[in-house]
Structure 1
Amino acid sequence: MPRASPRSTRLRTTHYGTLLGSQVFQSFVGGIVAFRALPRPQFATLQTAIFPVYFSMQTALPIVVALTASRGGQALGLSGLAAPENRYNTLLPMATVAITGLINMFVLRPLTTKTMRERKHQGESLDYLISSSIALELTGCLETRDGKKSYDAPPHSKEMVALNKKFGRIHGLSSLVNLVSLIATVWYGAVMSKKLE
């Protein structure tokens, strides 16, 4: 097994710190402050722009951390990661973080975005409106089908209630997946800190 270089140790520590810092900031500071400070449409625009970058980092950084991991001063490499003594303390947490990033990026984010669009237009597709004879009149002023935003005070149409529930479920699942990712990151941090003792 090759010896871990000080450079790879610094690289692993820097990437781990970036991963943990971005997860904590996005989950507990940036997202909450933005939600409270921005009007809902601007908040949605900000989150829509941030999440692809965030989920990409959440996918790539644990791979770099795992590939630069070491044990007893020895670089693990791919075969070392699969060794029984490293499966649960290095491979599993970092694979969990990468997989949860992929799930959020390619499954839950598109579902959330689609549901947000459906809520905005309350089930009417823009293609349908464009093909209709009144499309030119509506496209400039269309906000929602029944004239209420998804976050306006009730009552809402049955369609909007269903879309709000769907959005809440998908958003909640995405938050849960993100929390699993954060727990796995902290778990690996505890493992890594024991190596420093």
Structure 2
Amino acid sequence: MVAEGEPGSLVKVGYLLILSTSWGMQFWMTFIAGFVLIRGVPRHTFGLVQSKLFPFYGHAVLLCSFLNLAVYAAYHPRDLLSPSESVQISLFFGSLILSALNARWFSPATSKSMFKMQAIEREHGLGGEVGLKANAEGYKLLREQDPKYQALRKRFMRYHGISSLCNLVCLLCNGANLVYTALLLPTL
């Protein structure tokens, strides 16, 4: 259902608030929160905190992506899209798909693998060190000695990499949409 006429002031403010909140949250989680935590708390605590934050974060990004796409699509009929509006709606759609995959599949799979790895690490006295470089030799030795741990680590790294890539692409999509919105502000 296409909305009639120009969006009202409340719709414009809501749209910008949702878009900027989503991008700001993504920027904070991607470039600040994780780096601060990994340098300040033990590895297993870091993993636990991430496993609690990411479901909420992933679903919040998903909701914002849906709302942004819905509002934008309501005021930009597909038949009348300019080339820049086509790019913008595609970016919103891409963000929606990637955030859904991340929130519902990749992030939970990453956490599941991480918890299995942590159980094995605890058996070997690992996980209490602060920072990724701490006791690197102990983790390397564990990978070499335990094929189950090595397989879990590969699975974790694969899902973590895909999840991080989805998150980064969503961040870029929303950043590009902020740029488009700023450049085309009068026509929102």
**Normalising by structure 1, what TM-score?**
0.76
Give deviations 1:117-162, integer Å, cap 9, x for gaps. Answer: 221334xxxxxxxxxxxxxxxxxxx933xx2547743312222222
- 1:87 deviation in Å? 5.8
Give deviations 1:45-73, integer Å, cap 9, x for gaps. Answer: 1111111111111111122223333xxxx
| Aligned with 2:62 (options 35, 46, 59) | 59
Extract structure 1 runs of 4+ deviating beyond 6 A. none
Which is richer in helix? 2
Q: Which moved more, 1:19-28 or 1:162-171?
A: 162-171
Q: Call closer, same or farther: CA 1:12–1:82 in 2, change over 3 Å.
A: farther
- Aligned pair count reads 170
- 1:190 deviation in Å? 1.6
The aligned residue for residue 43 of structure 1 is: 46
Does structure 1 retain, via aligned residues, the 8 Å contact 2:20–2:178? no
What's the RMSD between the two structures over aligned residues? 2.3
- 1:172 deviation in Å? 1.0
Q: Which amino acid aligns with 2:77?
A: G
Q: Which amino acid aligns with 1:118?
A: K
Percent of aligned pairs sharing the same letter: 21
Name the structure, 1 or 2, with higher relative contact order (CA <8 Å, separation 6+).
2
Rg larger for: 1
**Structure 1 stretches lacking a partner, 5+ long:** 70-75, 123-141
Does structure 2 retain, via aligned residues, the 8 Å contact 1:81–1:91? no
Match status 1:77 vs 2:74? yes
Q: Which amino acid aligns with 1:95?
A: F
**Equivalent residues in 2 for 1:137-152 (5 A)?**
143-144=122-123, 147-149=124-126, 152=138
The aligned residue for residue 139 of structure 2 is: 153
Match status 1:105 vs 2:109? no
Does structure 2 retain, via aligned residues, the 8 Å contact 1:9–1:68? no
The aligned residue for residue 188 of structure 1 is: 177
**In structure 1, the residue corresponding to 2:21 is in which secondary structure?**
helix
d(CA) in 2 for partners of 1:177 and 1:79? Answer: 26
Q: Which amino acid aligns with 2:117?
A: R
**Normalising by structure 2, what TM-score?**
0.80
Does structure 1 retain, via aligned residues, the 8 Å contact 2:22–2:64? yes
Q: Which amino acid aligns with 1:143?
A: R
Q: Which amino acid aligns with 1:101?
A: S
Match status 1:178 vs 2:172? no
d(CA) in 2 for partners of 1:63 and 1:162? Answer: 36
